[in-house]
Structure formats: structure tokens, C-alpha cells
Structure 1
Amino acid sequence: MGGLSGWSGSMLALLLIFSMQTVSGSGNTGAPPDCSYIQTFSPNGTSGVYNIQPEGFSYSFEVYCEMGANGIWTVIQKRTGGAVAFDREWAAYKNGFGFISRDHWLGLEKISAMTKSKRWKLRVDLWDFEGGSAYAEYEDFRVGDESTNYRLSVGRYRGTAGDAIRGAYHGVDQNGFGFSTIDRDNDGCDPCLFGDVAVESCTSFERGGWWYSKCGSANLNGHWYPEGENIGWLSGLHWLTWKGPAPYSAKATRMMITPLCCLRKWFHTFSFALLIRELSEIPT
């Protein structure tokens, strides 16, 4: 077996075992743990719906993998219109809803499982009705488990949309807050005062589940408004550090995540490439 003898063969076997273990998620289905692994075995793979299985998760599920110049991302939220209602209860946000290739919310339980291990980056893309766009990226994105009310954690920000998660003004930082829905309130209002208006629950007028902190400056799960009706409503798709001063509801939004540290992915990609090279050297 010329090319597979001695040290080379032993090393190749170890690399193959490592590669199979790292790509197979929990080991039950063989599905990769996230979209960043897809092109390892499908170098010509394009954006689309794929099955993944995060490490420690009991089953595989469909996600939309966005593959482009900015990397390979797992989409966790998408809004392009009003076909899918987002004013839903806790159970729906926990498990996910919508259409994976179109408007959807992936599900807090799945997002929590994905971000439990490794370091992750969140990217938020925003589009307006005038043909413009902006983005926000956060390092060290993580969502806790249900016992924490799926608490949000983000690190350093960069982008063009502004850091709305930490707030357009003092006292509304959503980092570290649990998730709220129309049937479960974790927003910190008791009540919240906006001028002479007292608000007991942010979801009562913002609509849609989110990590509200005294309502805060970001909510991409509110009501979708068409052009001409998208300015002035507090219940829209807001990123208040991007548009203002009147609330501006975005035309489209997308939230997606990717591993922040790609060493492990690089290693198994390298091992697979080495395997192909070694196999090509086997005498026929």
C-alpha cells in the first residue's frame, strides 16, 4: 500500500478518525454541527437548506446556510415581508417557526445548543426601503438555556448599523437579558416610563419575542410594515441606532452566526485534503 505505509499511514488514520468525529456532531446522524462544515465535503456547495446536528443535540434539523464572500453562516432569523406572523408565544419561539428558506425564526432551543460550545459571531443585516443597507456584528454571541430564559450574551461590536443591542441611550442594554414573549415577561419593566406613558410589558406594544431590556433599542421580531407605513410605529422591525429619530421599520432583516474561531474547522479540512492526496498516491 506504498502511499499508506509507515508513519504516513498511521497519521492518515488518526486524521481520518478526527475528521469524522468533528464533522458528525453528536455522532447519531452524521450531520455536521453547523454550516461552517458543509464545504469541507461539498467544496462546490452553495447557499441553501442543509441538515445539521449541534454537538450534544439529540436530533438533526434543517437550517439555511449562507455561503458568500463574508464566510459561511447559519441563518437563525429572516424577515422579508408579512407572510409569517411573529407575535407568538414562548413555545413557538423556543421551537422555531416559519419556512427555513424564507421568513423564519430558527428556535431558541436550537440556537442555545449551537452556541453552547465554541465562540460564535452574530451578524445582523438590515435593508431599508430606499435601497440602503447596514450591518452589525458581535463577537462571543451566546444564548443560554431555558433555565436562564435564553439569556443573551454578546461581546465586541463592529459594523455600520450601530450597537442597538447595548442601546441608543443609557439604561436599555439588552446584553445579559432573558427572552420575552407575549405570554412570558422578562423585560425589567415595572413599569417602564416613556414620557408620560407607562408600559408594563414591552411585548404588549412592540409585538414579537425579543431580549427586551426596558424595551431597548433593538427588536427585529416585531410587526412587518410595508413601504409608506413603516415610520413612527414602535411595533416594527427596529434597530434604533441605524435609523431615527422616529422609529423606522426595516424592509428586511437577517440574523446569522458563524464560529468565531475556525482552528478546528481548518484542522479537519486539512486532514480531509491530506486524505485525498494520500489516496491519490495509492498504486493501482
Structure 2
Amino acid sequence: MGEEWSAVGCARLGLLLFLCVCPDHAVNPSGSSPAIATDCTQIKQLNPGAGSGVYTIKPAGFSGFFQVYCEMLPDGGWTVFQRRTGGALSFRENWAAYKHGFGKPRYDHWLGLEKLRALTTSRGRQWVLRVDLWDFEGGSAFAEYQGFKLGNEKQAYKLRVGAYRGTAGDAIRGAYPGINQNGYGFSTKDRDNDGCSPCIFGDIAEDSCSLDEGGGGWWYSRCGSASLHGDWHAAGENVGWASGLHWNTWKGPAPYSMRATRMMVKAVVAQ
């Protein structure tokens, strides 16, 4: 009996330990061996008990593996592609950095436009975008968009989103007419794809939304009311800045920079 436990029981214990402490791999429901999934939604489907953490994935058609943070929620597995919780990681990056990504998945980071596009171009599935926001007063809000997709690099990773639901307001389409960011390409401080040439706001002319809003990359239009890649501002110093983490349909009228943000996507069956 003791020898049987030594041979079989230890193997089971080892498997349990693997499942508990090694979330860097997706695991088959049977627990037979690690399996690389295409995204966090698939990981959750294969292993409903999977916990939130860093996993290795390989989207179909992508040339290599990469790590992502999976937020495992009751409604499925969400792949996090942006997180901001403080000012330690600067988002004042150029086109190449936004294309390939920066930061670490477990902490503040940007996954990268090329990885995000590869992740969300799977046949037979559509994607939901979720934006989570936290303020400095203990409040939180979210925005979800059906039909999230990106164009390729030649199209400047043009943003497309469908129907909105949430509590933060539809800042992508704008707090007022004429600043809809849906359908615009991504802009950085060294590659301008916004709709300003220039934009006139009162007596101020803006040629580059990225430069004028903190040097971060985003899907600017004229310039828009959503922009989560400006400078992070601490409590008590987070109101009134043109640069900041802005979602102007939730906070205002003065520019309000968020305490924390998270952006993530989840796959759903195409209708």
C-alpha cells in the first residue's frame, strides 16, 4: 500500500502542484499534458478551473509563442492587452514599441498591436473588447464593445468596434459629435494617423494628438474623448491635464486622469 502511494499518489500530487503553481501553460481538461492554446478564452474552455495568471499562447497563423495575462471570469477567459496602475512604466513610446509591445504581462504593459491583431483574426469567432476603469475616489466603470477588430499594419491597425454597453459611456464614439475614433488608425509620436491637420479647439491648433496628449499611442480621431496612454498622474494631481488616462464620457467636465485601466478581449462564436 505504501509503495503504491509512492508510485501513484506522488504522481498525482505532482500534477496537482503543476496545475496550482504553473499557470504559464494552458492545460488539457484531463490534466494529461500541457497544451498551448490560441487565447485565454480557449484556455478557460479547455480547463474551466483555470485561474487568472500568465499563460503562453500561440494564435493561429502567428509565427511564435508569447505570454499574456488571462483574467478568468465567470463569463469566460479574457486576454489582457493593456494594464496601467501607476507611473513606473512610461507609455511615451514610438511606433515600433507599440507594434511589438512593452512591459510585462503580470504588471503594467502593452501587449503589442501585431500580437493583438493576430489574436483577434481567428475564423469563425468574433471578439468583445472590455475597458475597465478605476478612479481615485473608489469608483469603477466599464465599457464593452462587440465586434472588435483591427486592420493590418498598412491600415495603421485601424480600429473597428460594434455595439456598446457599460457604465463608463461610449467614449470611443465620443462625448460630442465629430470626434468618433471608430474607424481610425493607430497614431504614435513618430507616426501620425489621426484626423487633425490641424484640429482647431478654440484658439488652439493641434497637428498631432499623440504629442499633445502625452506622447502615447492611441486610435485618435480629432483627437477624441478616449485616450488611455498619456501620462499617469497621482491622486490630487490628476485633474486638468491635457495628458492623462482619459475616458471623458465617465469623468468630467475637466480632464480627469484615471488611477488604473485595463483593456482585454474575449472570443465569442460568430453569429
Among 40, 45, 49, the residue aligned to 1:35 = 40
Query: What is the alpha-carbon distance in structure 2 between the residues aligned to residue 126 and residue 70 of structure 1?
Result: 19
Report deviation, 1:45.
1.4
Q: Read off the aligned partner of 1:82 and give its amino acid letter.
A: G
Among 152, 157, 167, the residue aligned to 1:150 = 157
Counterpart for residue 216 of structure 1: 224
Report deviation, 1:124.
0.3
Report deviation, 1:204.
1.4
**What does 1:217-256 align with in structure 2 at a 5 Å threshold?**
217-256=225-264
Query: What is the alpha-carbon distance in structure 2 between the residues aligned to residue 157 and residue 262 of structure 1?
Result: 17
Question: Residue 63 in 1 paired to residue 68 in 2?
Answer: yes
Report deviation, 1:99.
1.2
Counterpart for residue 182 of structure 1: 189
2:128–2:268 contact (8 Å) kept in structure 1: yes
1:107-132 Cα offsets, whole Å, 9 max, x none, are 00001111112210000000000000
Question: Residue 91 in 1 paired to residue 99 in 2?
Answer: no
1:180-237 Cα offsets, whole Å, 9 max, x none, are 0000000111100111000111111212000000110000111100001100101100
Higher RCO, 1 vs 2 (CA within 8 Å, ≥6 residues apart): 1
Percentage identity across aligned positions? Answer: 62
Give the root-mean-square deviation of aligned CA atoms.
Answer: 1.5
Counterpart for residue 101 of structure 1: 106
Query: What is the alpha-carbon distance in structure 1 between the residues aligned to residue 82 and residue 58 of structure 2?
Result: 18
The DSSP-based 3-state class of the residue aligned with 1:158 is: strand
1:67-88 Cα offsets, whole Å, 9 max, x none, are 1234210001000000100010
Counterpart for residue 53 of structure 2: 48
Report deviation, 1:262.
7.9
1:139–1:260 contact (8 Å) kept in structure 2: no
Query: What is the alpha-carbon distance in structure 1 between the residues aligned to residue 146 and residue 268 of structure 2?
Result: 7
Query: What is the alpha-carbon distance in structure 1 between the residues aligned to residue 48 and residue 172 of structure 2?
Result: 35
Query: What is the alpha-carbon distance in structure 2 between the residues aligned to residue 40 and residue 201 of structure 1?
Result: 43
Report deviation, 1:46.
0.5
1:116–1:144 contact (8 Å) kept in structure 2: no
Q: Read off the aligned partner of 1:133 and give its amino acid letter.
A: S
1:165–1:218 contact (8 Å) kept in structure 2: yes
Counterpart for residue 120 of structure 2: 115
The DSSP-based 3-state class of the residue aligned with 1:119 is: strand
Counterpart for residue 191 of structure 1: 198
Q: Read off the aligned partner of 1:240 and give its amino acid letter.
A: N
Counterpart for residue 170 of structure 2: 163
Return 5+ residue gaps in structure 2 as ranges.
1-27, 29-33
Report deviation, 1:178.
0.3
My pick for the range that moved more, 57-66 or 35-44, is 35-44
Return 5+ residue gaps in structure 1 as ranges.
1-22, 24-28, 264-284
Q: Point out the structure with max Rg over C-alpha.
A: 1
2:149–2:160 contact (8 Å) kept in structure 1: yes
Question: Residue 81 in 1 paired to residue 86 in 2?
Answer: yes
Q: Read off the aligned partner of 1:227 and give its amino acid letter.
A: A
TM-score (norm 1): 0.80
Query: What is the alpha-carbon distance in structure 2 between the residues aligned to residue 95 and residue 54 of structure 1?
Result: 15
Report deviation, 1:49.
0.1
Q: Read off the aligned partner of 2:104 and give its amino acid letter.
A: F
The DSSP-based 3-state class of the residue aligned with 2:269 is: coil
The DSSP-based 3-state class of the residue aligned with 2:132 is: strand
Query: What is the alpha-carbon distance in structure 2 between the residues aligned to residue 71 and residue 58 of structure 1?
Result: 26
Q: Read off the aligned partner of 2:229 and give its amino acid letter.
A: N
